[in-house]
Structure 1
Amino acid sequence: EGGRPVRTAVLSMPRKNGKTQLVAGLALCHLLGPEAEQRGEIYAAANDRFQSGKTFNEIVAILDELPDLEGRVNVTKFRKEIQVLAGPGKGSIFAALSADAAGKHGLSPSFIVYDELGQAPKRDLYEALDTAMGARDNPLMVVISTQAADDHAIMSELVDYGQRLNAGEMEDPAFHLTFYGATDQDDPWHPDTWAKANPALGDFRSLSDVQRQAAQAQRMPSAEHSFRNLILNQRVSAHVRFIAKAEWDMNSTAPRADLRGRPCFAGLDLSASRDLTAFVLVFPDDAGGFDVLPRFYLPEAGLREKAEADRVPYDVWARQGHLTAIPGAVVDPSFVAQDIAEAAAEYDLQGLAYDRWRIEDLKRELANIGAELPLREFGQGFRDMAPAIDTLERLVAEGKLRHGGNPILTMCASNAVIERDAAGNRKLAKHKSTGRIDGMVALAMALAASGKMTEDQLPACLAELIG
């Protein structure tokens, strides 16, 4: 009597611990079971309708096994809706919602389950649903999610608030947090930590799968981010170092010497007038590997000062032939255009991926010298960069690049960090890196250009591989 005190309940735990089944059970409890009310509105929310639709599918699967309950409802699968026709909860509805907050203010939810709020790119849907519950006497929102990466995300704010309540720092009977996860002091590689964070481990949560992911995370820094977040439910920065030194060094074999006339692809990362410009060529072989030939450019004037500012020996690298010091105080686009045209004449350049920034200057210079190149625009956002990053990471992990230990490209690799969007897509983050990463950006674009060839354009040796 008097209603339940809790209005918002947060359950934070790693993936694959029976979350979907729990969500479906809670929704059914409020739709048809002991928590049902007449003309209730039960909603499943997520970051896209496909995810919220999983809850609907699980509910339907449960109803299929319970004929007594199935006879009380009308299921509309294409709309992902359920109506209660008789018994407790008569007149109630369940619906899987889209991620668009527009129109949600008009709802009157009695029960909401929000799946994976930690991955929400914005907070507007959560806030729309939270305020929409105000017309009910006894509403409840249940949030079930892994932690977000960002301290300022709405999921992080809820977890922090709940932990302060659990620590006795304040009181709020309307809010409850249940949390499963590893602390910063826990050893992430110890099975006891895995068990602490995963309540279903050894039951329906596979121990062997966690062991496999832990082993991969110890070898690959970027995989450690996912392991800590998704398996240990730790809040980790979205910015993580991309390539481990040991793995990069594993690819330091010298490129083949007989590359003249061979098919190749390139990536071009143009710079501001005084910064590092990178032009990287990759040559596919018939075993899935690539020879890597990077070229870098800086203005000759002020090279020593630039070396001191970036704390790397540009002047030494220029003397060693790893860096082209262009006469003058700026990176002259006509010089870069001529160098690219000569490379295209020496090798069989099949595609050159470029960022739009400052590309018009280069195109004009290429036109002036009559160079017609297979240019391909390549976006720097998550959509285009994510598959390129995946390819680059895989090739490095498999030891299938031959970069010869080029010191400037190696510097870029050691500086490179990645950032993720809410969906887990990755891109190289110049603004978060500790130094220049232009060479890695150009390398990723070059590999992406190689992957965009259609089968009839590929050299025969590569066409056979994918045929």
Structure 2
Amino acid sequence: MGRRGPGASGAAERDPSQFVDLTDAADWREDGIDRAEAVIRFVEQLPITAGVLAGERMRLRDWQREIVRSIYATDDDNRRIKRSALITLPRKNGKTQVCAALALAHLCGPEAESRGQIISAAADREQAAIIFEEMRAMIERHPELTDRCNIRSFNKLIEDDVSGSTYRALSADARTKHGLNASFVIYDELAQAPNRNLYDVLATSTAARAEPLFVTISTQSPDPNHVLSELVAYGRKVLDGSVDDPTFHATIYAAPDDADWLDENVWHACNPALGDFRSLEEMRVAARQAQHIPARESSFRALYLNQPVEADHRFIAAADWDGCRDEIVVEALKGRQCVAGLDLSATRDLTALVLYFPDSGAVVPYFWAPGERMDVREETDRVPYRTWQRQGLIEAAGERAIDKRAVALRIGQIAQDFDLTGLAFDRWGFDELNRILDEEGIDGLPLVEFGQGFKDMSPAVSALERAVLQRTLIHDGNPCLAWNMSNIAIDEDPSGNRKITKSKSRDKVDGAVALAMAVGLAAKMQPAQEYDFDRDLVLEI
């Protein structure tokens, strides 16, 4: 079959000597085999297109076969049970070849259906093209697939003339994402997606199909609010039996967060191909470099061990912040001494008020955001504001701008419920709030002006850091506060003084600033240590 249309390619352009040898290949069309076995046989007819084994046929390993058998298992009516699949594993474990092979199985193999729509998705055009290029290379080296498939390189489209199915590569920056009727979707490296828009569109595009399948294959995301993190959390619940969902498959190869990242046993446990087609020596070299170049440690852990760690260094590591998590019963804190930090926002940002109870280290945060266009801010900031609002973690105050009266009334309530001994505030924007407090008859508050420069913030930053690292601070895992803490960037002057800088932080830090102010004010308010200089000094040796 020859060219048809711009950029199309067909069998006439291929040298038959380059075709993969199918002499002893098992027939994927054989009667009596189940659907999973048919997919396995089809995949193992496909050629390896790069590396030292190029030209040979693919050979699935036992762990890969287990994944395929789980995804393509059927019920008594021979209908595939799984509708969604998550495969998360470190890089260089053969995911690109598996993605391409499964896409071909649905385009022109045992899972092909009449006029199916097969889609591979990725965060950007370059990533989206990777699976397309792998599929094209496989087709061009397979005699039957070359004859029946028409490849259009210009728009990353492949047509199968037998089933009438089409494949296309789609990226998050594509102009047209709606109007799809997908039968099979594979999302490559979902962790890199800037938002969940494309994922949601594709997830809802399969409703008209009888047996749709959505496969996500990716390393983990360091962002706990990312859609991939939601899938991983859900997948773990399915695996441990706490959620009963027979339609969802999860394969998770990842080192525990507290694992020794230099332990080769840990490497093998989360890299199923290590020592096989994934080079152990290359991994050893990367680990040695990571030991001597600190900036590479996080990349090694993220890409080689599939841990959800940040690719850059933060003020407080996620593991240290999570180590301070414990249950907090707010009712039990009523009447107890507390200190508060207040970070007032500009008109449309977050406003945060955080209570800190010095005797127990308990932290109780409050957040406000404008109610109007919260969905737009949710997309911009890539956090679930509306979900947090429904959970009572954020209060919608005002429409386009935050109504400071809601903040004032909350402060008044806090002053009644707790022994509020100090309220640290930044003078910026406080005049209006102070006027509203007067109007509401909320007076006698222990207000303490707290500067945002090095003078006031450096001791506060150190006090907060010390409280977290020494585990004397307790929080209940509030996701908005955790998000703020993960965004912190620190400025340091030549004398080593530090402050939180909003301009350099990766996203909103209002809750973190309010917490630092509260902890810093509590440290200031501690009574000075008294010493008896008349007492004899005894040195123990």
TM-score computed with the length of structure 1 as normaliser: 0.54
Q: Distance in 2 between matches of 1:16 and 1:273?
A: 53
2:167 matched to 1:94?
yes
Higher RCO, Cα 8 Å, sep 6+ = 1
| Deviates most, 67-76 or 219-228 | 219-228
User: SS in structure 1 opposite 2:207?
Assistant: helix
Output one character per residue of 1:278-335: Cα deviation in whole Å (capped at 9) or x when no partner.
Answer: xxxxxxxxxxxxxxxxxxxxxxxx99x96465239xxxxxxxxxxxxxxxxxxxxxxx
Q: Distance in 2 between matches of 1:211 and 1:92?
A: 44
Q: Distance in 2 between matches of 1:117 and 1:172?
A: 22
Alignment-derived partner of residue 128 in structure 1:
201
Native 8 Å contact 2:82 2:249 kept in 1? yes
Cα pair distance change 1:22/1:310, threshold 3 Å: same
User: SS in structure 2 opposite 1:95?
Assistant: strand
2:330 matched to 1:182?
no
Native 8 Å contact 1:101 1:124 kept in 2? no
Alignment-derived partner of residue 41 in structure 1:
117
Alignment-derived partner of residue 159 in structure 2:
83
User: SS in structure 1 opposite 2:306?
Assistant: coil
Alignment-derived partner of residue 459 in structure 2:
311
> Runs ≥4 in structure 1, deviation > 4 angstroms?
414-419, 427-435
Alignment-derived partner of residue 322 in structure 1:
none
Q: Give the drift of 1:16.
A: 1.5
Q: Distance in 2 between matches of 1:177 and 1:112?
A: 16
Alignment-derived partner of residue 24 in structure 1:
100
Correspondence for 1:146 among 219, 227, 245? 219
* Root mean square deviation of aligned Cα: 3.6
Which residue type is aligned with residue 196 of structure 2? R
Q: Distance in 2 between matches of 1:190 and 1:172?
A: 35
Correspondence for 2:245 among 162, 172, 179? 172
Native 8 Å contact 2:299 2:311 kept in 1? no
Which residue type is aligned with residue 190 of structure 2? L
Alignment-derived partner of residue 53 in structure 1:
129
Determine what percentage of the aligned residue pairs are the same residue: 44
Native 8 Å contact 1:239 1:418 kept in 2? no
2:282 matched to 1:197?
no
Which residue type is aligned with residue 149 of structure 2? V
Alignment-derived partner of residue 409 in structure 1:
494
Q: Distance in 2 between matches of 1:91 and 1:418?
A: 54
Highest CA radius of gyration, 1 or 2?
2
Cα pair distance change 1:60/1:428, threshold 3 Å: same
Native 8 Å contact 1:45 1:113 kept in 2? yes
2:201 matched to 1:116?
no
User: SS in structure 1 opposite 2:206?
Assistant: helix
Number of residues paired by the alignment? 279
Output one character per residue of 1:143-198: Cα deviation in whole Å (capped at 9) or x when no partner.
Answer: 00000111110000000001011011120111111010100232111111111121
Q: Distance in 1 between matches of 2:501 and 2:285?
A: 24
Output one character per residue of 1:363-408: Cα deviation in whole Å (capped at 9) or x when no partner.
Answer: xxxxxxxxxxxxxxxxxxxxxxxxxxxxxxxxxxxxxxxxxxxx94
2:78 matched to 1:10?
no
Native 8 Å contact 2:302 2:311 kept in 1? no
Q: Distance in 2 between matches of 1:208 and 1:417?
A: 42
User: SS in structure 2 opposite 1:105?
Assistant: coil
2:233 matched to 1:160?
yes
Native 8 Å contact 2:183 2:206 kept in 1? yes
| Gap regions ≥5 residues in structure 2 | 1-76, 316-425, 429-449, 461-491, 514-541
Alignment-derived partner of residue 28 in structure 2:
none
User: SS in structure 2 opposite 1:411?
Assistant: coil
Q: Distance in 1 between matches of 2:104 and 2:295?
A: 39
Correspondence for 2:296 among 198, 219, 223? 223
Q: Distance in 2 between matches of 1:218 and 1:184?
A: 18
Alignment-derived partner of residue 143 in structure 2:
67
Cα pair distance change 1:91/1:410, threshold 3 Å: farther
Q: Distance in 2 between matches of 1:311 and 1:215?
A: 37
Q: Give the drift of 1:67.
A: 1.3
Q: Distance in 1 between matches of 2:103 and 2:501?
A: 41
Q: Distance in 2 between matches of 1:309 and 1:115?
A: 43
Cα pair distance change 1:192/1:432, threshold 3 Å: farther
User: SS in structure 1 opposite 2:273?
Assistant: coil
TM-score computed with the length of structure 2 as normaliser: 0.47
Q: Give the drift of 1:214.
A: 1.8
Output one character per residue of 1:76-120: Cα deviation in whole Å (capped at 9) or x when no partner.
Answer: 11111111112xxx1000111121365323110110110000111
Q: Distance in 2 between matches of 1:156 and 1:428?
A: 22
Cα pair distance change 1:219/1:428, threshold 3 Å: farther
| Deviates most, 213-222 or 41-50 | 213-222
